[in-house]
Amino acid sequence: MLKSIITSFLVLVSSALCTYAQEDGGSISMPYGRSLQLSMAAGCNFSLAGDVDQWWFGDRQAGAFELDWMVSYMFPGHWGVYADLRLKFFRLRDAQEGLAEDIFDTFFPGLRRLHPSFSVGGVYRYEYGRWGIYPRIGIGWQSYGYRESTKDSGAWEFRRRTSTMTFNAGMTGAFRLSRRISFILDMHFQQPLQKSKATLTEIRSGEEIRTVRRTSSLGRELTLSCGIRLHLCE
């Protein structure tokens, strides 16, 4: 699945480059005009979660591959808005895995490695000649998945919810290769605004015992990536 997504991403980028490579390389548009931009980038996503209890919340690799699509609309002047979709690829290693997970992976290989996040917000720009710097800030949503496990005819039940709202901040540096295409370097930070929650319910001697754990650091991430930006309408 990961190979298919990466292949589709590369085909999309190549098609965009071929389409806009026909530009005559004329004068770059005056800065701070109205602009619609589409950015496509790939890079490495780093977990900044720190010491999270792996039994309750699983364990992910420190670095993971990430793809990013971002649409920005700049109003005349310095300000604009953006919408950003990110796909991260990593396996959340879990002590609760069992036969159900093995069956799921057999029929849907790679799907549990896919972790999406989405954000919207405002972006500021500073442009000078072919160079541009675009800091941004927004709110969004991220998911590390949902888990529910039951054993001993319901006497042991484990549930975990790791989809949370997030605070997002980032900065893009861009260099115009032509009137329609820029090369970009991007840095993105994500911090959960809600706590991920895990609940273990056990029945002992007819008595229900519930244990709850929460963490606000699961989903704290930093991403460094590079790619292209298409200036679709200026």
Reported as a single tens digit per residue, the pLDDT across 166-186 is: 999 999 999 999 888 999 999
Residue with the two structure tokens 């790791």: 162
* Domain covering 2-23+31-134+168-192+217-233 in this structure, CATH number: 2.40.160.20
Give the model confidence (pLDDT) of 35-83 as tens digits. Answer: 999 999 999 999 998 877 777 887 788 899 999 999 999 999 999 999 9
Phi, psi (rounded to 5 degrees) for 22: -75, -5
Tell me how far apart the alpha carbons of residues 82 and 140 are, in angstroms, rounded to a whole number. 11
Give the model confidence (pLDDT) of 100-113 as tens digits. Answer: 555 545 544 556 67
Separation in Å, CA 157 to CA 19, 96, 144, 210, 214: 54, 10, 19, 9, 17
Residue with the two structure tokens 């480059």: 17
Domain spans of the chain, in order of start: 2-23+31-134+168-192+217-233
Q: What percent of the chain has pLDDT over 90?
A: 44
Which residues, in sequence order, are bridge partners of residue 21? none
Q: Is 110 left (phi over 0), alpha (psi -120 to 50) or beta?
A: left
Which residues, in sequence order, are bridge partners of residue 183? 175, 228
Contact 133, 171 (CB under 8 A): yes
pLDDT score recorded for residue 24: 45
- pLDDT-derived band at 96 (thresholds 50, 70, 90) equals low
